[in-house]
């Protein structure tokens, strides 16, 4: 994903729903030795436009952005969740993301989040002139090493007439598809990612979908270059969507219970089903 100058519309919305509210915990560091950041989107949602603040969400977008409360879908837990709206744009780039900068160094990290893709979207209509395509849903990387590119990403897309989830690894020279599975729409899907960020051959990338281990890769260099600042992004990114023939021009995806932890076994600490 190369950095381009773009114009598009971005909507970030906290959404109401659910009948089992959890007490609101302000986003930010919970315990610096265990949970580095947690946000269940129950309280005010503000984006830092400077991209410099620590322990708060920052904008990774161009053009307009808004945040508001809506009741479009029941939240994964509590009363609210985050709504990301991607609108197709020309100029070769469509992006609707928010990022998190914790000033983290390399090491063992765990990430948890829940994702809801509404069933109303016929993914076969997202791109009419191309059957194979992918759209980023969440990404993690050491962007000092690889500006504009994620090291690891969760994506949605379509291949050979089937809608898919994908896991990808994108070092500086190539995009590797690691895993694929049928896309799930109309219900919350919980994801847990264990990434050991290292420049030697002890790297780890493990992924659980709804608490089931679906992918495991160990014993490799998980990032390259001299950088050591790990960052996270959630939201939608689809290069060239606005330039393609489309059946619809807007898609919304919802997120909830986002957590980052550091340590050897932080599975329960980031498990979205336990938030």
Q: What confidence tier does 10 reach under pLDDT thresholds 50, 70, 90?
A: very low
pLDDT surpassing 50 at residue 3? no
What does each C-alpha distance from 273 to 100, 140, 163, 164, 270 come to in angstroms? 22, 21, 25, 23, 9
pLDDT of residue 25: 47
Q: Is 45 helix (H, G, I), strand (E, B) or coil?
A: coil
So what's the pLDDT on residue 137? 95
The mean predicted confidence, pLDDT, of the chain is 81
Whether the Cβ atoms of residue 116 and residue 252 lie closer than 8 Å to each other? no
Task: Give the pLDDT of residue 6.
Answer: 34
Give per-residue pLDDT as tens, 12-22: 445 544 443 34
The architecture that CATH gives domain 10-274 is Sandwich (2.60)
pLDDT surpasses 70 at 82: yes
Task: Please state whether beta strands 80-87 and 10-16 pair in parallel, antiparallel, or not at all (unpaired).
Answer: antiparallel
- Pick 237 or 211 by higher pLDDT: 211
Q: How far apart are CA 120 and CA 122, in angstroms?
A: 6
Name the residue with tokens 């051959």.
201
| Residue 231: pLDDT over 90 | no
Give tens-digit pLDDT for 161-204. 999 999 999 876 678 999 999 999 999 999 999 999 988 999 99
pLDDT at 5 over 50: no
With CA atoms as reference, report the closest residue to 143 among 154, 151, 134.
151
pTM for the structure as a whole: 0.87
Q: What's the confidence (pLDDT) of residue 62?
A: 52
Across 54-58, 212-216, 223-227, 231-235, the highest mean pLDDT is recorded for 212-216
Long-range CB contacts for residues 4-7, cutoff 8 Å, separation at least 24 = 4/91, 4/92, 4/93, 5/62, 5/91, 6/62, 6/63, 6/89, 6/91, 6/92, 6/93, 6/94, 6/95, 7/62, 7/63, 7/89, 7/90, 7/91
How much is the pLDDT for 109?
93
Express the helix, strand and coil content of the chain in percent, nearest 5 each: 5, 45, 50
| Residue 222, both tokens | 């998980």
pLDDT at residue 121 greater than cutoff 70? yes
Q: What percent of the chain has pLDDT over 70?
A: 77
Confidence of residue 100 (pLDDT cuts 50, 70, 90): confident
49, 261, 231, 96 alpha-carbon torsion, rounded to 10°: -60
DSSP label of 18: -
Question: What whole-number distance in Å separates Cα of residue 53 and Cα of residue 144?
Answer: 17
Cα distance between residue 122 and residue 111, in whole Å:
29
């Amino acid at each position: 994903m190369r950095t381009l100058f773009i114009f598009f519309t971005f909507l970030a919305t906290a959404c109401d729903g659910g009948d089992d509210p959890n007490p609101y915990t302000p986003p930010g560091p919970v315990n610096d030795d265990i949970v580095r950041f947690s946000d269940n989107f129950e309280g005010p949602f503000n984006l830092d436009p400077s991209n410099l603040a620590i322990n708060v969400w920052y904008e990774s977008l161009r053009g307009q952005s808004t945040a508001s409360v809506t009741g479009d879908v029941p939240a994964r837990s509590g009363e609210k969740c985050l709504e990301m709206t991607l609108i197709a744009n020309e100029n070769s780039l469509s992006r609707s993301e928010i990022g998190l900068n914790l000033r983290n160094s390399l090491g063992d990290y765990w990430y948890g989040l829940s994702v809801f893709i509404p069933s109303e979207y016929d993914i076969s209509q997202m791109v009419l002139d191309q059957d194979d395509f992918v759209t980023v849903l969440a990404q993690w990387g050491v962007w000092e090493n690889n500006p504009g590119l994620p090291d690891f990403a969760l994506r949605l897309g379509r291949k050979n007439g089937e809608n898919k989830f994908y896991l990808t690894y994108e070092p500086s020279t190539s995009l590797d598809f690691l895993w694929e599975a049928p896309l799930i729409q109309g219900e919350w899907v919980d994801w847990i990612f264990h990434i050991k960020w290292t420049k030697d051959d002890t790297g780890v990338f493990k992924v659980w979908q709804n608490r089931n281990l679906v992918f495991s890769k160990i014993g490799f260099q998980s990032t390259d270059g001299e950088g050591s600042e790990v960052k996270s992004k959630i939201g939608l990114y689809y290069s060239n969507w606005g330039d393609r023939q489309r059946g619809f021009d807007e898609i919304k995806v919802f997120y909830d219970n986002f957590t980052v932890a550091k340590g050897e076994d932080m599975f329960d600490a980031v498990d979205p089903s336990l938030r």
